[in-house]
Structure 1
Amino acid sequence: MSIKSIIQDMRGEFGSMSRRGFEVKSAYRMKSRSQRVVQDSPVGAIHALKQSCWANLPPELLRDVLMRIEASEDTWPPRKNVVACAGVCRSWREIMIEIVKSPEVSCKLTFPISLKQPGPRDFLFQCYIKRNRSSQIYYLYLGLNRASTDDGKFLLAARKCRRPTYTDYIISLNSDDVSKGSSTFIGKLRSNFLGTKFTIYDAQPPHTGVKVTKCRSTRLVNLRQVSPRVPAGNYAIAHISYELNVLGSRGPRRMQCVMDAIPASAVEPGGVAPTQTEFLLSSLDNFPSLPFFRSKSMRTESFLSGNLSGESEGRLVLRNKAPRWHEQLQCWCLNFNGRVTVASVKNFQLVASPENEAAGSEHENVILQFGKVGKDIFTMDYQYPISAFQAFAICLSSFDTKIACE
């Protein structure tokens, strides 16, 4: 029996199960109130589940079937079958989560948590960003061919929100609902007034022992009070700084990123970066109702001071690779290996190299590269030790206007 026929049989079985469960619920509505109190649990639906041939599979056989499905579906959209299998029931989900490895090992993006996990070590994940100027929304896709009619696999979306003294980029797993109150809100990027310094916030702690930024002890969210013991947002995981252009001469931007959540040893052979394995709350429907509310006394200065230079010891520091001046073309050039085709001040490559090392050396390992390939279309390639969420937030900082840097 082929994998495709197995998946079709499973869909048929669970479709009949859902219909039987609906018939049982309809029968309950016809009973009296007293009968419903006595028979509160949907026994018929449980029996329907037990009668399914897929629910009664031996664990060894079930594991073998799921392993074959996971191995056969390498790319999207067929890989959605792996996610569908993980959503069948708890036992299927536990086995599938155990089988599906992190992007560092499998080189695949499968579940939403994969966007918070470091990328592969040996090559760059190739993605691209689409910008919608009218709505100020940015979409991140996993895909190689930007000219294809298929948009590729959607990963993240961000919406730009201008404030009098700063700018926020709200990042969400849902392309249709990009807001702090969304059930898929996972973090944000915030800039200072000049657009030269940024802080990346995660909605959940990226590792144990991380400190949360000061905020109100209770938060009024969706018209209800949320306990301060619930791990809410405001976890600063990275700081981005663009060098001021004091002389006013036009040239390439200079930037550096201090990754608070990643040790400097992560880029060395055998180095390890923190890897999230699950969202701390029971479901994504609960944790977004924890947006970043601040007290009125807290302003942008509090999260931008003392994190970009003096306190970066032991943390991973990424700096943009210095471009070289091309005499014939009379422009600054970087080797993007064909991934960038349009000259732009936004283009950059980030490398992890010591300060005493020669800037622009060819042996520097590119961790993240971002560049323009068309009108409102940009490529974003990243690898270990940063995640898709971190890479996307860093690239969003390049879109912000920087009058003092150009």
Structure 2
Amino acid sequence: MSLRSIVRELKEMRDGIGNTSTRGAGSRVSQRRTKSHIVPDMTLTSLEPIQQGQWANIPSELLLDIIRRVEETETSWPARAVVVSCASVCKSWRAVTKEIVQTPEQCGRLTFPISLKQPGPRDSPIQCYIRRDRETSAYLLYYGLVPSENETDKLLLVAKKIRRATGTDFIISLVADDFSRSSNTYVGKLRSNFLGTKFTIYDSQPPHGAGIPPKSTRSSRRFHSRQVSPRVPACNYIVSTITYELNVLRTRGPRRMNCIMNSIPVSAVQEGGTAPTPTSFPEITDEHFCSASAPALKGKGPVGDLSNSTLPVQEMPVQSQGPVESLVLKNKSPRWHEQLQCWCLNFKGRVTVASVKNFQLVAAVEPSHNVSAAEQEKVILQFGKIGKDIFTMDYRYPLSAFQAFAICLSSFDTKPACE
């Protein structure tokens, strides 16, 4: 039997398990997650009660060789979904697959959902694009150079824009049909102030190495208790702040922005430096469940909107292990083109339409940090327009896909005081 035949059989067996398992919340989560074109690690646990079968008894040497060959041959999506299928067979297959699959920093590929929280490669950037849906106020992040005609691009993240009286929220999820912060598809959010000059990025899980907040902390954000799973923490961790400089006098020039990455040390851009790289989603236990000690709340009933609920949601700053200086990113200064009479940046063909939203971010470091000039000029994140409601997003180390996407979302919000 050829390798492709084995993989095809495994995929059919996994699909059969998903169709027959209709009991419990695990099956519902698995069906909902399939729409995101990427299977989260958490959904794989729903197969464990029935994971022991004929494929679980394969010798470890043969199993290692099979999965290694699949990993080497299926390098792009949608074919790379076979690698995820191998991890869905059983517990032993999942352990071997996770051992072989490398992080985006090492291989330059996205495989599991945790890859969206891991830093990108150091040399060549990961190229993605964002599609804006004006009717639904949604922003969809796809993995690929440009939109394909057959719509086989892999959906990574989706953001929903919600306008408030005091600002704007962008709720970020793994799927396009569930933006509830009580769901395990919730990834994080971006929140702006009233003027659109300051944004805060919140992560649904603590950054790698950060402590879990005490469960006695309270916040004004609320969910209805019936809508919250006891396995999903209602917490938000501040991982970055984005500020746009005021332009009250309407002086000539593009937007100017600064990003303080609270969860990334400035040493990450130095030679031999490393950025936090989570390897899996954290286990949620009762003692880590932030809203376990929530007091009884008064109210006549639940409100269905995801922004008006009745269970506290904490918004916690990152707890650092010591006096570590955070990495600061600034937009690369453009040059004035006399013939075109406009500001220009070299996007190397990835941006084709002039827009005030276009930007490139580089590291803003002091000379005392001993960062080479080449590293200071290296573009860590670039974002720009290529068509109506189509934008490219290229990011590299030490940013993750989630952090890069949240920074790009800040460019979509209206900024009357900055333009």
1:47 Cα deviation (Å)? 12
SS at match of 2:380: strand
Task: Could you tell me which runs of 5 or more consecutive residues in structure 2 were left unpaired when the two chains were aligned.
Answer: 23-46, 293-305, 318-322
**Paired letter, 2:365:** P
**Paired letter, 2:6:** I
Query: For residue 163 of structure 1, what is the aligned residue in structure 2?
Result: 164
- 1:204/1:232 contact within 8 Å kept: no
For 1:392 and 1:319, the matched residues in 2 are separated by: 16
For 2:396 and 2:308, the matched residues in 1 are separated by: 32
- 1:210/1:235 contact within 8 Å kept: no
SS at match of 1:223: helix
- Cα 1:218/1:90, change in 2 over 3 Å: farther
Query: For residue 352 of structure 2, what is the aligned residue in structure 1?
Result: 341
- 1:202/1:237 contact within 8 Å kept: yes
- Cα 1:378/1:226, change in 2 over 3 Å: closer
Query: For residue 339 of structure 2, what is the aligned residue in structure 1?
Result: 328
- 2:218/2:312 contact within 8 Å kept: no
Query: For residue 363 of structure 2, what is the aligned residue in structure 1?
Result: 352
SS at match of 1:245: coil
> Is residue 379 from structure 1 mapped to residue 381 from structure 2 by the alignment?
no
Instruction: For 1:3-402, list aligned pairs within 5 A.
Output: 3-11=3-11, 52=54, 54-146=55-147, 148-150=149-151, 152-210=153-211, 212=213, 215-216=218-219, 220-223=223-226, 232-281=234-283, 314-354=325-365, 364-402=377-415
**Paired letter, 2:258:** Q
Higher mean displacement: 348-357 or 109-118: 348-357
SS at match of 1:244: coil
- 1:218/1:226 contact within 8 Å kept: no
- Cα 1:12/1:140, change in 2 over 3 Å: closer
For 1:272 and 1:60, the matched residues in 2 are separated by: 33
- Cα 1:292/1:119, change in 2 over 3 Å: farther
1:353 Cα deviation (Å)? 3.1
1:201-245 C-alpha deviation (Å, 9 max, x unpaired): 000001223475953499654426778x97542200000000000
1:232-280 C-alpha deviation (Å, 9 max, x unpaired): 4220000000000031224200000000000001011211000111111
SS at match of 1:128: strand
- Cα 1:395/1:160, change in 2 over 3 Å: same
For 1:110 and 1:288, the matched residues in 2 are separated by: 29
1:335 Cα deviation (Å)? 0.2
Higher mean displacement: 313-322 or 330-339: 313-322
Aligned pair count reads 368
1:346 Cα deviation (Å)? 0.4
**Paired letter, 2:417:** A
SS at match of 2:218: coil
RMSD of the TM alignment (CA)?
3.8
- 2:11/2:85 contact within 8 Å kept: no
1:20-44 C-alpha deviation (Å, 9 max, x unpaired): 999xxxxxxxxxxxxxxxxxxxxxx
- Cα 1:351/1:232, change in 2 over 3 Å: same
For 1:218 and 1:297, the matched residues in 2 are separated by: 5
Query: For residue 27 of structure 1, what is the aligned residue in structure 2?
Result: none
SS at match of 2:93: helix
- 1:21/1:48 contact within 8 Å kept: no
For 2:171 and 2:81, the matched residues in 1 are separated by: 26
- Cα 1:370/1:225, change in 2 over 3 Å: closer
1:270-319 C-alpha deviation (Å, 9 max, x unpaired): 11000111111369xxx999999899999xxx999xxxxxxx97110000
Query: For residue 309 of structure 1, what is the aligned residue in structure 2?
Result: none
Query: For residue 36 of structure 2, what is the aligned residue in structure 1?
Result: none
TM-score between the two structures when normalised by the length of structure 1: 0.80
TM-score between the two structures when normalised by the length of structure 2: 0.78
For 1:56 and 1:133, the matched residues in 2 are separated by: 51
**Percent identical across equivalent pairs?**
56
